[in-house]
Every structure is written in structure tokens, then in C-alpha cells.
A and B are shown apart, each in its own frame.
Chain A
């Protein structure tokens, strides 16, 4: 028993991500968040009668907070993302950002529909316990960090497990509701309903709606369930999991092109698992006066909030679409590199 527990503990702590990798991820994540801020204040136009929080902490709200509070939450979220971008009070800010995002999304989901953006909330909640503010940050510039100390890998491992488990719940629900039944075409059904009633008529949708592709739609059902239930099996190995996540980015691209749902929040979270330092320049410490750092971080957050207010929701839509394309392109590059490495290693073994 003890040996098993020690093995599981060692597995949780195993990994090859460096402070530079996760610091670059911190920058990618916070920049992505600033480019696609949640629009909580738009809720104040909704009827108060429709406010019905899902089971959970949002039930503490007896009614929808006033418009000023919602706007305040948007600004606080943006400023926290600004602080995270420059790496100021990184651990505290990460936890506060997770709470702000959870509250904002929770209020949005109190009007009937949960959009499953949990990954983007889990990222700062878990990464707060990693060392993602140890370089490329104002924290590192003002307080010397021990570069020799190993990065705690367990936050990323637990994040990977949580991402995979969230897909298990989705895959299981699909499995239970007959997605693998050869007489039904669930993907086609969802696609058709969105096409005819949801205005989801962009990208490849007009080309596919009239095509009689029964077997292909059934294959899509099976692949979707297989991917969602299979991701948890790959979590045992970082290499396998990264390959599976890269494939998942292509799945999200397919969903966007066919069903017109840009699931960009997940892609932002997936970036936590990759070794960004291998493609980005060496990370550096930001050495400016800390007081100036507060101004820069606040200006970045408040500025992006003001930008979002001026450009409207279409800008956010464009950002989310771009994220899906960028994520899928990154996934393809990763898969090609892995394939080349595998082929090279194979030919080397033969020689």
C-alpha cells in the first residue's frame, strides 16, 4: 500500500516543465485572457426573474448584482490579468483571478446555460502553486529566486487530470445517451439543429448540411466519444498526453468549422502542458521600479477593459476564432515534430 502511494506521489511530481516554460505560459494565458475578457455587465439587461444560479457558490447571490458591481467585476478581472501578465504578486493574483473568473462565469451561467469554461478557471487556481511567476516577471526582478530549485510539477499534473476528467464526464454522457448507436447521428443532429435554429451557418456548415454522409457522421460520433473518454488514459505519460491534447486542438478546430462553436477557453488552458521555452527566447526578469509595475499592470488591465468596451463583442468573437486556429496550428506543428522525432529515432535504431 505504502509503495503504491509513493509511486502515485512520484508520478504526480514527475515532469519536465521548467520555470521558463511555465513563465511563458503565464504570459500567453494572461494575454489571451485580456484579449477575450468575459462580458459580465451585459447581464444587467436581462430580466431579474430569469436569474437562477446553478448549484454551487453562486447561489449565495440572492439576485443579480447591480450593473456597477458587474462592471467592477469585469475591471477587477482585467486588472488581475494585467498583474499576472507582468508577474506582480503572482501567487495571490492567480488565486484572486480564479475566484473572479469563477464568479463572472457563474453569474453568466445563472441565466440557464452553462458554457463549460472550467479549464480557464482551473488554470490560475492550480498554477498559483507552481512557480510560473519565478521568471519573466516583476516578482523575480524585485526578489531574487532560486533558479536551481526544481519546478513543482504536480500543479500541472493535477490540472492535466482535471482537464481529462472533465472530458470523461462529457464522453460518458454521450455514451449513455446513445451516441454510439449506429442508428443515430448525434453530431449531425446537433449540427443540423444549430444550423437551422442557432444561426450557425458559417465556415464549412453550408457545404455539409446537404450532404448525405451517414457513415461519416457516425464516425464523427465514435471519434468524439473515443477522444473524450480516451484522454484520461493518456494522462499517465506527459508525452502521450501532449500528443492527445494536440489532437484535441484539431477536434476543436473541426467543431468550430462544422458546428461553429469556437471553444477557445480550453485551448488557452491546454498551453499549460507544453515546453514554450524551446521555441521562445530565454526568459528574463523585468527590472523596473515596483511602483511603476503597479501602474503598468493596472494600465494593461484597465486599458484592455476600455478597449473591449469600445470595440464590442465582435472583436471577442474574432479573438476566439483566431485562438482556435492558432491552437490547432500549434497542435499540428507539435504532432509533426513528434512524428519526425519518432521516425528519426526509429531509423537510428535500425542503423
Chain B
């Protein structure tokens, strides 16, 4: 009896693994990607439309009219882009700047450029044309002005 049972085990595990793949793929597409799961990067969101362009947003930062880099504003953030998106949503929603963040941004900018007044954050759409490898400017999505000594508008 025992040898027979053992012969079945590995093929059964193998079959379960193979059969789980369509189930995992379906679950990922209809609900969300599970973890743990047998997945590698799919990059499905990067397929382009037939106009051969990649659309993306860029953020422009300036303090009192002087352009600055995200790292000047948020030197301690791991991912400045993600952080800026969460604090200043590109869709024009309300900015999430509390007093602690304002103080932190102000001292970071002050260290490099002197006492700052107004921070301007602008999200703009861009198009990169894959065939001509050129960039064209799109519309401005949102603009935030933050008084680093006062209120956010």
C-alpha cells in the first residue's frame, strides 16, 4: 500500500501547481494580485496605444520662483516622487501638508537656498513619442502654492 501512495504524491503536487496558475492569474486580474503567488513582473500597464506614445506626468518645483529638485525639498524621503504624489495629488485634490511637514520642507530648503517664502508644485502632462523619440508638452494638471511660513492653497 505505502509505495503506491508515495508514487501519487509528487504528481499530485505538480498537478496542483500547474492547475493553480490559471486560478492565480484569474484572481489577479479580477480581484488583486495575491501574495504569496507565483508571479514575476508583468508590466502589463506599459503596453502602448497605437499612437506609439508614452504618457507621463512630471512635477516642477520652485521656491520663490527659483526651480528646485525634489531632493532639495525632501532630502530624507526614500521615494520623493511617490511622496510628492501622496502630499500633492496630481489630480488636483487637496494638498496634505501639516505643520510638521511644512517645517521639515522649510528647513530643508533653507539649508540650501536661504529663508524660503512660497513653494510652488506643478504637475504637467508629457508625451514621449516612441517613433521619433521626442517629447511634447501636455496640459497642466494641478498647481499647488504653499506658504512655507503659513497656509496651503
Q: Which of A106, A176, A190, A212 contacts B35 (CB 8 A)?
A: A106
A192 at the interface (CB under 8 A from B): yes
Residues of chain B lying within 8 A (CB to CB) of residue A42: 78
Which size bracket describes the interface of A in this complex?
35 or more
A173 adjacent to B35 (CB under 8 Å): no
A207 at the interface (CB under 8 A from B): no
Using A168-B21, A176-B44 as known contacts, say yes or no to A55 and B34 having CB atoms under 8 A apart: yes
A197 adjacent to B56 (CB under 8 Å): yes
Q: CA of A172 to CA of B31 in the docked complex: distance in angstroms?
A: 17
A177 at the interface (CB under 8 A from B): yes
Interface residues of B in 35-92 (CB under 8 A from A): 35-50, 52, 54, 56-58, 78, 81, 86
Q: Which of A54, A161, A178 contacts B33 (CB 8 A)?
A: A54
A121 adjacent to B7 (CB under 8 Å): no
Using A12-B10, A184-B52 as known contacts, say yes or no to A173 and B31 having CB atoms under 8 A apart: no
Spot the interface stretch: A1-9, A65-73, A320-328: A1-9
B133 adjacent to A210 (CB under 8 Å): yes
Q: CA of A192 to CA of B129 in the docked complex: distance in angstroms?
A: 10
B11 adjacent to A12 (CB under 8 Å): yes
Q: List 5 A-B contacts (CB under 8 A).
A: A9-B10, A118-B36, A169-B25, A190-B43, A210-B133
Q: CA of A172 to CA of B21 in the docked complex: distance in angstroms?
A: 11
Residues of chain A lying within 8 A (CB to CB) of residue B35: 53-56, 58, 105-106, 109, 114
Chain B residue total in the interface (Cβ 8 A)? 50
Q: What residue of chain B has the Cβ atom nearest to residue A45's Cβ?
A: B78
User: Most chain-B Cβ atoms within 10 A of its Cβ — which of A105, A199, A313?
Assistant: A199
A185 at the interface (CB under 8 A from B): yes
User: Most chain-A Cβ atoms within 10 A of its Cβ — which of B13, B36, B132?
Assistant: B36
A13 at the interface (CB under 8 A from B): yes
Q: CA of A162 to CA of B131 in the docked complex: distance in angstroms?
A: 38
Q: Which of A9, A162, A186 contacts B47 (CB 8 A)?
A: A186
CB distance from A261 to the nearest CB of B (A): 8
CB distance from A251 to the nearest CB of B (A): 11
CB distance from B141 to the nearest CB of A (A): 13
A281 at the interface (CB under 8 A from B): no
Q: Which of B9, B34, B40, B128 contacts A54 (CB 8 A)?
A: B34
B17 adjacent to A165 (CB under 8 Å): yes
Q: What residue of chain A has the Cβ atom nearest to residue B46's Cβ?
A: A190
B10 adjacent to A183 (CB under 8 Å): no
A243 at the interface (CB under 8 A from B): no
Residues of chain B lying within 8 A (CB to CB) of residue A176: 44
Q: What residue of chain B has the Cβ atom nearest to residue A211's Cβ?
A: B133
User: Most chain-A Cβ atoms within 10 A of its Cβ — which of B27, B47, B86?
Assistant: B47
Using A183-B52, A189-B130, A193-B56 as known contacts, say yes or no to A162 and B38 having CB atoms under 8 A apart: yes
B100 at the interface (CB under 8 A from A): no
